[in-house]
């Protein structure tokens, strides 16, 4: 099981005074087992988003210390900013990253909330997955009325805090704590200084939608002359011209014809669906799990649509951006780019890169960094600030940054040539196989998606993707083989003075030898897969590049043979004879199939170049 890791992203109501911000983040950095990842202050919003990760216990303590320090330093009576807020620490979400369940994270959030309420005297509301009642799941609903309306809100028994006193804390306000999915804070930039233009588009995007208007609604909907309202016996549908005589009739119509839950929509907008009379009619926005508002950002000299994507697996950055581009064009506006505030999950950026590659009719079988760079360029993430993959993408595959893989070619060759036994043949076998897969991918990409290649595009695009997957695994094997050898050598260095120490050392050595077998065996298996891809590419690829496929096949075969050599040499010292027998039989099968594939591929290459 992977190590338990929790992310915490508290939002503090201070974005201008760096001394205050630094004192808060110093509290986080003081906790062992916690790593501060990002501090993103915004002067116009007067708000700072902080991101840190660590062990459950470490994150729990760091969150409490930061909330305590914010309550000491931030006076909400003096706070002004463009972002909705209700407390010095406005919201403190916890996000399970790995090795911990949502349920365990919920308990963690409640422990922090209890301490904040009892020790600091701050009213605390639980939200999202920690919510104690359905109406408190949504942050926007809890925050309605903001800090200015909090004193009256706390007098209402329906809004009794989950923890802490039901009394107004004028300096610290109130705090919202809970567990949520990974939230992507995503802003889209427009070529205008008019915040109301950004807001007009934001209301079209966000899940809670907007009030329905009639007359003069194009191109800017907010200019509509009449706002429709519910009244007794007159309950209009926000999405068409239908008017129900009862609210139930309109609710059924919205569900059957437009497929949305009208009561849920009204609750998102603070309207009682049982008594909506006098309230404006609402129509839903285009995206679920999407919150959006518009504002002017003076430091960028343009308006932005500020978006929170609360479940990127349902609503992605690229789909929101493409719809924004369409809505902006209708209004005579241009999207100049976008920005991600804080961090973004690796899978989210990867899927965005794949989306735009598919839009361009290009293969997805290219290096991961190229896919991520496609996403960055397509989203325009460097429009207003720099975007560095290593600093901003959470969960990058660790194999991208292994020490041997990251070496320059000349340095790697030098490292191999030194008198140390590793990196040795196993690492070179993995490198050879990865180069074979890379060449198969190259020829696939050179052939596919060109004029006249339509008949083979699907076959070669699939081959390129498979080759990239194999290449990535084999590249990781370059370091894995060296690491396995080093682990075995560590076992040999264990003390062996007593019978118990000798037993422990012997067991560790045998386990290390088996690991030293499994790693090159995987190299051989993946190199065989590279040969299988090469056979497809030699058949359908560009004839002008057929020798590249042949070279790739030779490299992949060497990966198989080299992997087998390293398996066999390590079997000699393993005492588990059944294991030894199975490994030898597996190696014979792999080598036989690899030789047959190599011969078929080379035969085809030689026929073409005669």
Closest CA to 60 of 172, 179, 185: 179
- Taking the C-alpha atoms of residue 548 and residue 447, their distance in angstroms, rounded to an integer, is 12
Nearest to 514 by CA among 474, 475, 485, 473: 485
Q: Are 464 and 363 in contact (CB under 8 A)?
A: yes
40, 162, 200, 481: the catalytic one is: 481
Among left, alpha and beta (phi > 0; psi -120 to 50; other), residue 65 is alpha
Nearest by Cα to 227 from 209, 215, 239, 241: 215
Two tokens at 382? 């460097």
Structure tokens at 34: 């916690």
User: In 351-420, at which residue ranges do the beta strands (DSSP E only) sit?
Assistant: 393-394
Contact between 287 and 206 under an 8 Å Cβ cutoff? The reply is: yes
Burial 282-301 (b: 16+ CB within 10 A, else e): bbbbbbeebbbbbbbbeebe
Locate 67 and state its tokens: 């909330």
234 is a catalytic site residue: no
CA separation (Å) from 323 to 10, 190, 380? Answer: 30, 13, 15
User: Residue 390 burial by CB count (10 A; 0-12/13-18/19+): exposed, middle or buried?
Assistant: exposed
- The region, left, alpha or beta by phi > 0 then psi within -120 to 50, assigned to residue 163 is beta
Q: Of 40, 83, 90, 253, which residue is the catalytic one?
A: 83
197 exposure class (CB count in 10 Å sphere: 0-12, 13-18, 19+): buried
Evaluate whether 588 touches 521 at the Cβ level (below 8 Å): no
Q: Considering only CA atoms, which of 42, 49, 51, 50 is closest in space to residue 15?
A: 42
Helices (H), 97-160: 102-120, 139-142, 150-153
Q: Copy the structure tokens of residue 177.
A: 């704590």
Pairing type for strands 344-345 and 335-341 reads: unpaired
Would residue 40 show up in a list of annotated catalytic residues for this protein? no
Own/partner pairs for 591-594, CB < 8 Å, 24+ apart? 591/524, 591/560, 591/561, 591/564, 593/528, 594/524, 594/527, 594/528, 594/531, 594/556, 594/557, 594/560, 594/561
**Which residues belong to the active site?**
83, 481
């Amino acid at each position: 099981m992977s190590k338990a890791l929790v992310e915490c992203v508290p939002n503090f109501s201070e974005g201008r005074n760096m001394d205050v911000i630094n004192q808060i983040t110093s509290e986080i950095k003081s906790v062992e087992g916690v790593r501060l990842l990002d501090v993103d202050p915004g002067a116009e919003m007067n708000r700072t988003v902080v991101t840190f990760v660590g062990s459950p216990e470490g994150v729990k303590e760091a969150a409490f210390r930061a909330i305590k320090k914010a309550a000491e330093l931030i006076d909400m009576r003096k706070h002004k900013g463009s972002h909705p807020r209700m407390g010095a620490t406005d919201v403190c979400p916890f996000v399970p990253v790995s090795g911990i369940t949502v349920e365990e994270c919920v308990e963690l959030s409640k422990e922090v909330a209890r301490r904040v309420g009892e020790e600091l005297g701050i009213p605390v509301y639980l939200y999202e997955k920690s919510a104690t009642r359905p109406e408190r799941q949504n942050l926007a609903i809890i925050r309605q009325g903001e800090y200015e309306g909090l004193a009256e809100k706390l007098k209402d028994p329906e809004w009794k805090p989950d923890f802490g006193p039901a009394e107004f804390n004028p300096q610290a306000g109130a705090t919202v704590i809970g567990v949520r999915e990974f939230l992507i804070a995503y802003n889209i930039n427009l070529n205008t200084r008019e915040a109301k233009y950004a807001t007009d588009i934001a209301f079209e995007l966000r899940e809670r939608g907007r009030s329905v208007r009639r007359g003069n609604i194009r191109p800017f909907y907010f200019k509509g002359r009449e706002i429709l309202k519910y009244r007794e016996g007159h309950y209009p549908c926000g999405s068409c011209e239908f008017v129900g005589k009862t609210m139930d009739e309109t609710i059924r119509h919205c569900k059957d014809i437009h497929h949305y839950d009208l009561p849920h929509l009204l609750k998102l907008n603070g309207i009682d669906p049982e008594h909506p009379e006098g309230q404006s009619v609402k129509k839903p926005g285009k995206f679920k799990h999407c919150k959006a508002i518009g504002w002017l950002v003076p430091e960028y000299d343009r308006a932005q649509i500020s978006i929170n994507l609360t479940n990127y697996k349902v609503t992605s950055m690229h789909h929101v951006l493409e719809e924004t581009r369409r809505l902006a064009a209708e209004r005579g506006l241009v999207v100049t780019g976008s920005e991600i505030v804080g961090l973004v999950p690796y899978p989210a950026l990867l899927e965005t890169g794949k989306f735009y590659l598919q839009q361009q009719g290009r293969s997805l079988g290219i290096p991961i960094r190229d896919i991520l760079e496609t996403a960055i360029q397509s989203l325009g993430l460097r429009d207003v600030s720099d975007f560095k993959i290593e600093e901003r993408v959470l969960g990058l595959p660790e194999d991208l940054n292994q020490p041997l893989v990251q070496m320059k070619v000349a340095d790697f060759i030098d490292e191999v040539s030194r008198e140390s036994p590793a990196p040795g043949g196993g690492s070179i076998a993995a490198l050879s196989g990865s180069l074979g897969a890379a060449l198969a991918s190259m020829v696939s990409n050179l052939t596919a998606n060109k004029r006249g290649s339509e008949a083979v595009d699907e076959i070669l695009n699939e081959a390129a993707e498979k080759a990239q997957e194999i290449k990535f695994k084999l590249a990781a094997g370059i370091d894995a083989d060296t690491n396995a050898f080093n682990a075995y050598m560590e076992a040999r260095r264990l003390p062996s003075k007593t019978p118990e120490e000798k037993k422990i050392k012997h067991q560790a050595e045998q386990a290390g030898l088996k690991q030293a077998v499994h790693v090159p065996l995987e190299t051989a298996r993946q190199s065989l897969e590279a040969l299988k891809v090469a056979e497809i590419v030699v058949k359908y690829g560009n004839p002008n590049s057929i020798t590249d496929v042949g070279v790739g096949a030779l490299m992949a075969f060497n990966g198989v043979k080299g992997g087998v050599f390293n398996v066999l040499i390590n079997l000699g010292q393993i005492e588990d004879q059944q294991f030894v027998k199975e490994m030898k039989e597996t190696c014979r099968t792999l080598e036989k199939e690899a030789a047959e594939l190599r011969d078929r591929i080379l035969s085809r290459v030689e026929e073409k170049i005669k």
